[in-house]
Structure 1
């Protein structure tokens, strides 16, 4: 399927799941695409879907785009700019472009003058962060490997996950080195995938036949674009965006029943877990290694398998985290269901830990 086709399929399913028809959609937010040749992707998607929204935009905040789109959609319905905002993303990144083209496209993340000319790619930039974080906080390669194993175990419980083969920590540590200390199995997938959800007001949601999930709090923080300009290699914006979300929701880290954390590389959810207060500094890796982040553990993380094992196609990876949180809070996660799930924290990050957005979703209206 094309990227637009994946968007359309996900959008149609989300609209139907909400009990709506396409003519009711008056807001549309989408992200970006490396596989589609369109400049105004939001307008093209509206044209493709046959809808005429009065509120529409394409958001480009890297992997943080889906949670940022959730934020903007909430602002749109609260302000009256739209009643029903469709948020979607989709790309055929595995089959729509070659590996060389994918690498070339992703090179845009590096600074065009001070990073890209020296051959720095995304894995190398995240490897710099990993090395610095390991040196400062004592995170180990074994703990990072446990992140990959945890997400793979969850993906095995998901009927639509990209990866279906069990792995061990030794498999991760023994896989091909990509950029030290990151090995092949420390790196996210390249998939064909699409996802979508609908945002509306509490009043309109209560009129729909589906069970709503409530956005209790959300916050953003944007600290840099290029890693050479980052304020730090070990302190990022998740702490700030998380605090904004906690404050709005009137909840804290101790109230979360599950966490959906952006996991483009195994070091990233460890950093996010610690910055979001879900684990003390230097102890996030131990949570994964101990089993506390598994379904049935103290705080299950990425119960669908994350971008390391479920799917990752540009902005879609982070959007899948929101979808999984909704399914968990609705009690529709089947074998991977977290017992008593009442509150979920979702965190997206874009660039190289550059743009951050944290959302807190709850089962009950607050």
Structure 2
């Protein structure tokens, strides 16, 4: 018999560029915030799972040493952009199995240490060694999707316009300024057809969550947010042709998550999806069956993915506005969903939100759609 799992504490620091702060100093305030949010004695925490891609050895121990939360099992996880959503998955699994009742999840990253530019990838990968950095890969996705389905430059730019508008309402977002279609299209070219404002900003940040079994969650909060599904999968190695217009790993993960949760896409009120580039959000509309194949541009243009629409996608501003400190992203997405389902999202609150979804993919390596994908579904 498995145990039900809930989130009782959530915390994050504003995303941005903080070159003067260490990784540990970025993260421990988010952990303290999550503990205080849960109203929990830190001594009740039985284990911790820390996700980071570039944080270095023993990141979790360095962070928790700052607040004296040591002497417990601390597991550090790297899974590219899915690092902290992978940590969340394993935290959920450990509670669901009955191993622990109360665990901590941390996501943290400090990208300013690289000084700018694209993320450093492994040169032993033959695609990377030939210049396949992430903006180039997503530009290829965009070009092929535009060719296949008639997506326009304006529709592509509207993703950034929408998410910047959402991010303006989020005090934790890195980019808090509205933009227009014209400004997006006129921004510096990165990889055709993507311009600067269609690419997520690099930065630093951290987020944390307290996960409990349902039997102890009421000890801490009267409004725990239940986790209905926690799905983690990896890409399938496919040499040769890959259809860049549809993310096989997300489609497969979504089908598994719907089955585990016992609901379908029509039940979802809000979704935090991995919009590292504008085209990504559009293809994820289709991967989650929020709209039919080839209809993502129209779905967005008709207002179905913003407030008052069918499903509010990235109310936080998403990676395009909130920012994308790689290892912090999955945990931060979960924090946003939890706050929305509690009715604590302020000006960006999704009215009547009852079901939320978070989704983070990780990595671009030769032969894979993505290296990892983690999807969580939550309910109040």
**Is the TM value for this pair above 0.5?**
yes
Count of aligned pairs between the two proteins = 354
**Is contact 2:53-2:81 (8 Å) kept?**
no
| Residues 335 and 230 (structure 1), Cα distance of their counterparts in 2 relative to 1, 3 Å cut | farther
CA shift, 1:125, in A, is: 1.6
Match among 47, 52, 65 for residue 32 of structure 1: 52
Deviations 1:19-76 (A, max 9, x none): 1122221111111243x4x323233334344223543322222222232222211110
Q: What is the alpha-carbon distance in structure 2 between the residues aligned to residue 91 and residue 221 of structure 1?
A: 22
CA shift, 1:119, in A, is: 2.6
Q: What is the alpha-carbon distance in structure 1 between the residues aligned to residue 178 and residue 84 of structure 2?
A: 29
Match of 2:379 in 1: 362
Match of 1:233 in 2: 244
- Counterpart of 1:162 in 2: which secondary structure? coil
Q: What is the alpha-carbon distance in structure 2 between the residues aligned to residue 297 and residue 152 of structure 1?
A: 17
CA shift, 1:78, in A, is: 1.8
Q: What is the alpha-carbon distance in structure 1 between the residues aligned to residue 67 and residue 282 of structure 2?
A: 39
Q: What is the alpha-carbon distance in structure 2 between the residues aligned to residue 220 and residue 138 of structure 1?
A: 32
Match among 258, 263, 270 for residue 251 of structure 1: 263
Match of 1:107 in 2: 120
Match among 37, 52, 67 for residue 85 of structure 2: 67
CA shift, 1:186, in A, is: 0.6
**Is contact 2:106-2:208 (8 Å) kept?**
yes
| Residues 280 and 301 (structure 1), Cα distance of their counterparts in 2 relative to 1, 3 Å cut | same
Residue pairs, 1:145-294, within 5 angstroms = 145-209=157-221, 211-224=223-236, 231-235=242-246, 236-294=248-306
Q: What is the alpha-carbon distance in structure 1 between the residues aligned to residue 332 and residue 241 of structure 2?
A: 27
Match of 2:43 in 1: 23
- Counterpart of 2:304 in 1: which secondary structure? coil
CA shift, 1:230, in A, is: 7.7
**Is contact 1:46-1:53 (8 Å) kept?**
no
Match of 2:323 in 1: 311
Structure 1 unpaired stretches of 5+: none
CA shift, 1:173, in A, is: 1.2
**Is contact 1:223-1:231 (8 Å) kept?**
no
**Is contact 1:142-1:169 (8 Å) kept?**
yes
**Is contact 1:26-1:52 (8 Å) kept?**
no
- Counterpart of 1:237 in 2: which secondary structure? helix
**Is contact 1:61-1:350 (8 Å) kept?**
yes
- Counterpart of 2:211 in 1: which secondary structure? strand
Deviations 1:226-268 (A, max 9, x none): x977853233211111111111111000111111111110111
- Answering whether residue 28 of structure 2 is matched by residue 8 of structure 1, we say yes
Q: What is the alpha-carbon distance in structure 1 between the residues aligned to residue 66 and residue 99 of structure 2?
A: 22
CA shift, 1:99, in A, is: 1.6
Q: Return the TM-score normalized by structure 2.
A: 0.87
Deviations 1:57-113 (A, max 9, x none): 22222222232222211110122322211111223323x34125xx3xx2315x524
- Counterpart of 1:281 in 2: which secondary structure? coil
Q: What is the alpha-carbon distance in structure 1 between the residues aligned to residue 294 and residue 125 of structure 2?
A: 34
Does 322-331 or 126-135 show the bigger shift? 126-135
Match of 1:334 in 2: 346
Structure 2 unpaired stretches of 5+: 1-20, 365-369
Match of 2:333 in 1: 321
CA shift, 1:135, in A, is: 2.4
- Counterpart of 1:120 in 2: which secondary structure? coil
